[in-house]
C-alpha cells in the first residue's frame, strides 16, 4: 500500500448547466450567500488577462516543489475541469509554467489554481486561461512525487472535494460543495439582483441609507 501516492477515481462532478449559470454570479455574492465561511485565502490571486473561472474541481495534492502528479492530472483532465493544486503554499519552486498551461488550455481545461508558485508570468497575463496562484518564481519543479489525484484537499481552511464547483474572479476563488449548488445559486442570484437595484438607486440619487442610523442606535452609539 502506497500512502500519499495514489490516483483516486472521481465519482461525481457538477454538470455543465450548473457551471454556466454560476459564471454570471460574482464570487463575493456567492461567498456572502454561504455566510462568509468559505474562502480560499487572500494569497490566491488571478494572474491571467481577465475573465471568470468556473468548472468542476480536479484536485491534486502535490509535494511542495514537485509536479509529477500535476502532469498525471493533465493526462486525465476533461474539458471544463479546474485543476486545483495544493502544493502546500510553498513558493520555492514553480509548479506550472507556460508549456503545461498551454497544454491545459488546448485540451479545454477551464482554469488552474495553484496553492504555490507558477512561472512564465508573461504568458499567463497575455492569455485568457484563468490562472490563480500564491506567487511567481522562475525556479522550476522536480518530478518525483509523491502526491494524490482526486483526494479531498483544503486551501486556507476551504475544503474542496473532487467534482465540487469552483468559481473565481478578481476577488479570488470560492468552492461550492457539489450537493449545495442549487441552494447557493438561488441565494447568490437573489443577492446579485438586490445589489443591482441598489446600484440603480445610487445612480438615481434615491438610495435609502437610513439603516445605518438605525444600526447605530440599536448598538447604543452615543452622539447620534
195 contacts 203 by C-beta, under 8 angstroms: no
Is 99 flagged in the annotation as binding?
yes
Is 97 flagged in the annotation as binding?
yes
Q: What is the DSSP string of 130-193?
A: -EEEEEE-S---B----EEES--EEETTEEE-TT-EEEEETTEEEEE-GGGHHHHHHHHHHHHH
Cell numbers of 94, please? 514553480
Block residue for cell numbers 442549487: 182
Distances (CA, A) of 33 to 56, 137, 182, 188, 218: 20, 35, 12, 5, 24
Identify the helix (H) or strand (E) that includes residue 57.
Answer: strand 53-62
Bridge partners (DSSP) of residue 132 are 46, 113
Is 98 flagged in the annotation as binding?
yes
**Binding site per annotation, positions for Mg(2+):** 120
**Binding site per annotation, positions:** 97-100, 119-120
**Binding site per annotation, positions for substrate:** 97-100, 119
Amino acid at each position: 500500500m502506497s500512502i500519499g501516492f495514489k490516483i483516486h477515481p472521481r465519482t461525481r462532478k457538477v454538470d455543465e448547466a450548473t457551471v454556466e449559470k454560476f459564471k454570471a454570479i460574482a464570487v463575493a455574492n456567492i461567498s456572502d450567500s454561504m455566510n462568509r465561511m468559505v474562502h480560499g485565502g487572500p494569497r490566491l490571486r488571478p494572474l491571467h488577462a481577465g475573465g471568470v473561472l468556473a468548472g468542476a474541481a480536479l484536485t491534486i495534492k502535490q509535494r511542495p516543489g514537485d509536479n509529477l502528479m500535476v502532469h498525471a492530472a493533465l493526462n486525465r483532465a476533461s474539458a471544463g475541469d479546474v485543476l486545483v493544486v495544493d502544493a502546500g503554499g510553498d513558493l520555492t519552486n514553480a509548479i506550472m509554467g507556460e508549456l503545461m498551461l498551454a497544454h491545459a488550455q488546448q485540451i479545454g481545461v477551464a482554469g488552474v489554481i495553484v496553492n504555490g508558485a507558477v512561472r512564465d508570468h508573461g504568458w499567463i497575463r497575455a492569455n485568457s486561461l484563468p490562472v490563480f496562484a500564491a506567487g511567481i518564481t522562475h525556479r522550476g519543479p522536480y518530478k518525483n512525487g509523491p502526491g494524490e489525484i482526486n483526494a479531498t484537499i483544503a486551501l486556507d481552511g476551504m475544503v474542496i472535494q473532487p467534482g465540487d464547483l469552483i468559481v473565481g474572479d478578481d476577488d479570488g476563488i470560492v468552492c461550492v460543495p457539489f450537493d449545495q449548488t442549487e441552494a447557493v445559486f438561488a441565494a447568490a442570484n437573489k443577492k446579485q439582483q438586490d445589489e443591482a437595484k441598489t446600484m440603480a438607486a445610487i445612480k438615481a440619487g434615491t438610495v435609502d441609507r437610513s439603516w445605518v442610523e438605525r444600526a447605530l442606535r440599536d448598538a447604543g452609539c452615543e452622539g447620534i
